[in-house]
């Protein structure tokens, strides 16, 4: 092994592979030469059978046939067919002579020459006897001819035929013996071929294993150490002392490892600096920050977050649900890690209240997924935006709107009553110009009164002053009540108002008047924004554990850029048919939200809009 390994180490990989293949080719040639030798040896045995004994067998068979034909010629003569007998005699006389000549000059077995001589001398006397019978002059009398045939010719014919049969038997027996020898030689050749093949295979296997070990052992060593390097163990050094391509590759790997080790050291330094800068940046942020991995486990908390949830050292690696114990934050992070499973629209999210240091702070959680350059999810970062001051401003604004609406409603009602009295002529008849002025005042005061009522309703809903009075209500009754409320308006405008109500929908848990108000508001908007001859459809169906109400129209539609803001306060679509102050949909959203449902809208400009909202089923709430 060491000798072969030394020889191979001092040659190039190409030469090593060529030498290993040449050894296998040489062994293959040895096996082929042995097989060819056995093939030619068997061929010579078969050739001897055909060249010697087979010729004698054919000759003996021809002599027997010729004798039988000559004997038949003699019987033809006895029957009086002399010419036919003479013709057959002449034809078979030469045939027998040729066959006997072949046999006499192809003596291969013991006793065969004696039989050939006896056949020659016996046939000479027999042919003369037959000639005498056929060519006697004058011809023999019939009785004498038969007597001559049976007493002389037939015994000679039988003796010659028996001698020819003996020649045939001797040569056939020789063929059988030669066949047995050929078979034995074939078996011996097969055994020799098998032995040579097995020997060559074992020898080839021996050399192949030696050569494979000599050539591939360093490659295996190189591969194993390369895997270690690939796994990050850059302290590996490949010790292969060869002058071939494998040695060159090992040296290249060692140089590459040195450079990778230096590069990793540099990257570690840069990463350490970047991590320190990142930690410092997160720590210096005023808002609490939570960083998780892709499995939702806490990786880092900044100083502000530690003040809310505890020290980072005790929380690293803990699932975020166990670390922060705030469902709002957990849901935000889950939505960031699994955006395809997002269940809440952004518009449904609200600040969460946290009490720290004796004060109540409002935070708005926002989470964003962290992705690498390939788009692989690394984790999520959640920032708790402190919106305490905004919440306070919103509270002050709501209180101001509530107070202002309440205080303004009394003078507005007084002005509205005064205008109505003037319009009815309580202080005398009005001129046409005065009538127009009073009518305009009535319209403006009525719009202002509706605005005051809407503002008061909004502030009461948001502050919880007038909470919903929940009850089990059949959803079909809600639909029917809303249809009755707007059917006159739809009919006056020439609109088709239809409903599609699914059967067997359980009762919903709702404040009947508030949900009817939502549905009436949606239907009123549909009537207002649908041209004459249009169609409005109200649908009611079950959506898992909720009942879904849907209002679809064939009206003007809503521009795409306004859809995300359509449920905000005072938002009105430019160019839309005049209506309220843009509070109706905002109030509808607040009502649906306090019922635990959702509301959304789809629209295509010029083709119509579809508004839908869900209300939980009373049955599902009771089961929970």
Output the six-digit token pair for 162: 């028996």
Please state at what angle helix 245-284 crosses helix 154-230, rounded to 10 degrees. Answer: 40
Q: Where does the pLDDT of residue 39 fall: very low under 50, low under 70, confident under 90, or very high at 90 and above?
A: low
Cα–chain center distance at 391 = 52
Lowest mean pLDDT among 38-52, 114-128, 368-382, 508-522: 38-52
Question: How far lies 305's CA from each of 127, 284, 291, 383, in Å?
Answer: 138, 11, 10, 9
Instruction: Give the model confidence (pLDDT) of 534-559 as tens digits.
Output: 999 999 999 988 999 999 999 988 88
User: Mean pLDDT across the stretch 247-254?
Assistant: 75
Q: Where does the pLDDT of residue 38 fall: very low under 50, low under 70, confident under 90, or very high at 90 and above?
A: low
pLDDT exceeds cutoff 60 at 298:
yes
Lowest mean pLDDT among 7-21, 130-144, 279-293: 7-21
* Parallel/antiparallel/unpaired status of strands 289-293 and 298-301: antiparallel
pLDDT exceeds cutoff 90 at 316:
no
- DSSP category for residue 400: H
Residue of 353 and 41 predicted with greater confidence? 353
User: Mean pLDDT across the stretch 81-104?
Assistant: 89
> Which segment, 138-152, 231-245, 451-465, 576-590, is predicted with the most confidence on average?
138-152
Output the pLDDT for position 472: 92
CA distance 343 to 272: 38
Output the pLDDT for position 347: 47
Q: Which residues contact 434 (CB under 8 A, 6 or more apart)?
A: 422
Side-chain-side CA neighbours of residue 352 (13 Å): 19
Q: Where does the pLDDT of residue 3 fall: very low under 50, low under 70, confident under 90, or very high at 90 and above?
A: very low
Q: What percent of the chain has pLDDT over 90?
A: 14
- Are 509 and 618 within 8 A, CB to CB? yes
Instruction: Give the model confidence (pLDDT) of 342-386 as tens digits.
Output: 555 554 556 777 766 666 777 778 788 888 878 788 888 888 777
pLDDT exceeds cutoff 60 at 577:
no
Nearest-5° angle of CA 608, CA 610, CA 613?
A: 165
* Residues present in the chain in total: 624
Q: Where does the pLDDT of residue 601 fall: very low under 50, low under 70, confident under 90, or very high at 90 and above?
A: very high
The neighbour count for residue 15, using CB atoms within 10 Å, is 13
CA distance 245 to 179: 60
Output the pLDDT for position 578: 54
pLDDT exceeds cutoff 70 at 227:
yes
Nearest of 280, 290, 288, 277 to residue 336 by alpha carbon: 290
> Which segment, 124-138, 203-217, 314-328, is predicted with the most confidence on average?
124-138
Q: Where does the pLDDT of residue 174 fall: very low under 50, low under 70, confident under 90, or very high at 90 and above?
A: confident
Q: Where does the pLDDT of residue 34 fall: very low under 50, low under 70, confident under 90, or very high at 90 and above?
A: low
- Are 261 and 282 within 8 A, CB to CB? no
Question: How far lies 235's CA from each of 225, 256, 265, 597, in Å?
Answer: 10, 12, 12, 62
Nearest of 471, 507, 510, 478 to residue 592 by alpha carbon: 510
pLDDT exceeds cutoff 80 at 67:
yes
Question: What kind and span of H or E run contains 176?
Answer: helix 154-230
pLDDT exceeds cutoff 70 at 622:
no
Output the pLDDT for position 236: 67
* Parallel/antiparallel/unpaired status of strands 535-543 and 496-501: parallel
Question: What kind and span of H or E run contains 353?
Answer: strand 352-356
Output the pLDDT for position 449: 65
Strand partners, 546: 543, 616
User: Mean pLDDT across the stretch 38-54?
Assistant: 64
CA distance 96 to 179: 28
pLDDT exceeds cutoff 60 at 179:
yes
Output the pLDDT for position 473: 92
> Which segment, 32-36, 328-332, 456-460, 555-559, is predicted with the most confidence on average?
555-559
Nearest of 170, 173, 177 to residue 112 by alpha carbon: 170
Alpha-helical segments (H) within 136-153? 142-148
Output the pLDDT for position 587: 82
Domains delineated in the chain: 46-162 (1.20.120), 285-386 (3.30.450.20), 468-623 (3.30.565.10)
Please state at what angle helix 432-463 crosses helix 388-423, rounded to 10 degrees. Answer: 150
Find the radius of gyration of the CA atoms of the chain. 60
- Are 13 and 246 within 8 A, CB to CB? yes
pLDDT exceeds cutoff 90 at 611:
yes
Question: What kind and span of H or E run contains 558?
Answer: none
Cis previous bond, 418, omega within 30: no
First to last CA, the chain: 79
Output the six-digit token pair for 174: 């020789």
The neighbour count for residue 608, using CB atoms within 10 Å, is 22
Residue of 447 and 91 predicted with greater confidence? 91
Q: Where does the pLDDT of residue 305 fall: very low under 50, low under 70, confident under 90, or very high at 90 and above?
A: confident
CA distance 511 to 377: 44
Residue of 462 and 232 predicted with greater confidence? 232
pLDDT exceeds cutoff 50 at 1:
no
CA distance 206 to 425: 127
Mean model confidence pLDDT for the chain: 78
> Which segment, 432-441, 463-472, 477-486, is predicted with the most confidence on average?
477-486
Nearest of 457, 559, 545, 465 to residue 508 by alpha carbon: 545
505-531: burial string, b at 16+ Cβ within 10 Å, e else: bbbbbbbbebbbbbbbbbbbbbbbbbe
User: Mean pLDDT across the stretch 250-257?
Assistant: 77
The three state secondary structure string of 204-272 is HHHHHHHHHHHHHHHHHHHHHHHHHHHCCCCCCCCCCCCCCHHHHHHHHHHHHHHHHHHHHHHHHHHHH
Residue of 141 and 303 predicted with greater confidence? 141
Residue of 573 and 601 predicted with greater confidence? 601
Tracing tokens 């040449």 back to the chain, one arrives at: 22
Question: How far lies 597's CA from each of 7, 92, 176, 588, in Å?
Answer: 84, 125, 107, 11
Lowest mean pLDDT among 234-238, 501-505, 508-512: 234-238
Q: Where does the pLDDT of residue 409 fall: very low under 50, low under 70, confident under 90, or very high at 90 and above?
A: low
Output the six-digit token pair for 284: 């210096």
Q: Where does the pLDDT of residue 579 fall: very low under 50, low under 70, confident under 90, or very high at 90 and above?
A: low
Q: What percent of the chain has pLDDT over 70?
A: 75
């Amino acid at each position: 092994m060491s000798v072969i390994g030394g020889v191979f180490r001092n040659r190039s990989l190409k030469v090593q592979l060529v030498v290993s293949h040449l050894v296998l080719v040489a062994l293959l040639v040895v096996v082929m030469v042995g097989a060819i030798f056995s093939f030619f040896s068997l061929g010579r045995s078969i050739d001897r059978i055909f060249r010697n004994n087979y010729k004698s067998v054919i000759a003996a068979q021809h002599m027997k046939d010729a004798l039988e034909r000559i004997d038949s010629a003699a019987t033809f003569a006895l029957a009086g067919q002399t010419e036919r007998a003479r013709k057959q005699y002449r034809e078979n006389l030469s045939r027998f002579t040729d066959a006997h000549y072949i046999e006499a000059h192809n003596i291969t077995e013991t006793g065969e020459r004696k039989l050939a001589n006896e056949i020659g001398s016996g046939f000479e006397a027999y042919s003369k006897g037959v000639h005498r019978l056929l060519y006697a002059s004058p011809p023999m009398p019939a009785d004498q001819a038969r007597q001559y045939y049976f007493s002389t010719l037939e015994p000679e014919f039988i003796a010659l035929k028996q001698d020819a049969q003996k020649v045939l038997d001797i040569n056939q027996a020789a063929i059988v013996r030669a066949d047995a020898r050929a078979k034995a030689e074939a078996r011996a050749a097969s055994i020799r071929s098998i032995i040579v093949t097995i020997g060559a295979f074992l020898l080839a296997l021996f050399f192949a294993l030696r050569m494979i070990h000599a050539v591939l052992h360093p490659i295996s060593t190189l591969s194993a150490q390369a895997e270690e390097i690939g796994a990050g163990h850059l302290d590996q050094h490949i010790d292969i002392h060869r002058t071939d391509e494998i040695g060159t590759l090992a040296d290249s790997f060692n140089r590459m490892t040195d450079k990778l080790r230096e590069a990793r050291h540099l990257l570690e330094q840069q990463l350490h600096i970047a991590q320190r800068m990142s930690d410092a940046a997160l720590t210096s942020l005023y808002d609490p920050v939570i960083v998780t991995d892709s499995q939702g486990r806490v990786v880092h908390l900044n100083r502000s977050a530690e003040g809310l949830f505890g020290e980072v050292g005790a929380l690293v690696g803990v699932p975020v649900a166990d670390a922060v114990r705030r469902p709002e934050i957990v849901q935000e992070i889950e939505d960031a890690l699994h955006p395809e499973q997002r269940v809440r629209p952004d518009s449904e999210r609200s600040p969460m209240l946290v009490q720290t240091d004796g004060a109540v702070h409002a935070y708005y959680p926002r989470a964003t997924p962290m992705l690498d350059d390939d788009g692989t999810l690394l984790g999520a970062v959640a920032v708790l935006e402190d919106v305490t001051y905004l919440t306070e401003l919103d509270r002050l604004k709501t209180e101001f709107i509530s107070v202002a609406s309440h205080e303004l409603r009394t003078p507005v009602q007084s002005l509205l009553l005064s205008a109505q009295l003037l319009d009815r002529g309580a202080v005398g008849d009005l001129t046409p110009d005065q009538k127009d002025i009073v009518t305009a005042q009535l319209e403006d005061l009525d719009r202002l009164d509706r605005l005051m009522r809407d503002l008061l309703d909004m502030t009461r809903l948001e502050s919880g002053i007038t909470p919903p009075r929940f009850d089990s209500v059949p959803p079909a009754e809600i639909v029917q009540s809303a249809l009755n409320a707007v059917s006159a308006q739809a009919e006056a405008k020439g609109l088709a108002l239809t409903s599609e109500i699914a059967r067997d929908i359980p009762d919903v848990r709702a404040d009947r008047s508030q949900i009817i108000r939502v549905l009436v508001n949606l239907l009123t908007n549909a009537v207002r924004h649908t041209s004459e001859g249009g169609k409005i459809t109200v649908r009611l169906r079950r959506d898992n554990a909720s009942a879904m109400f849907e209002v679809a129209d064939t009206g003007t539609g809503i521009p795409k850029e306004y859809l995300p803001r359509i449920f905000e306060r005072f938002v009105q679509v430019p160019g839309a048919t005049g209506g309220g102050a843009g509070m109706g949909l905002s109030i509808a959203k607040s009502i649906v939200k306090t019922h635990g449902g959702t509301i959304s809208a789809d629209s295509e400009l010029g083709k119509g809009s579809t508004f839908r909202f869900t209300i939980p089923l009373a049955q599902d709430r009771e089961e929970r």
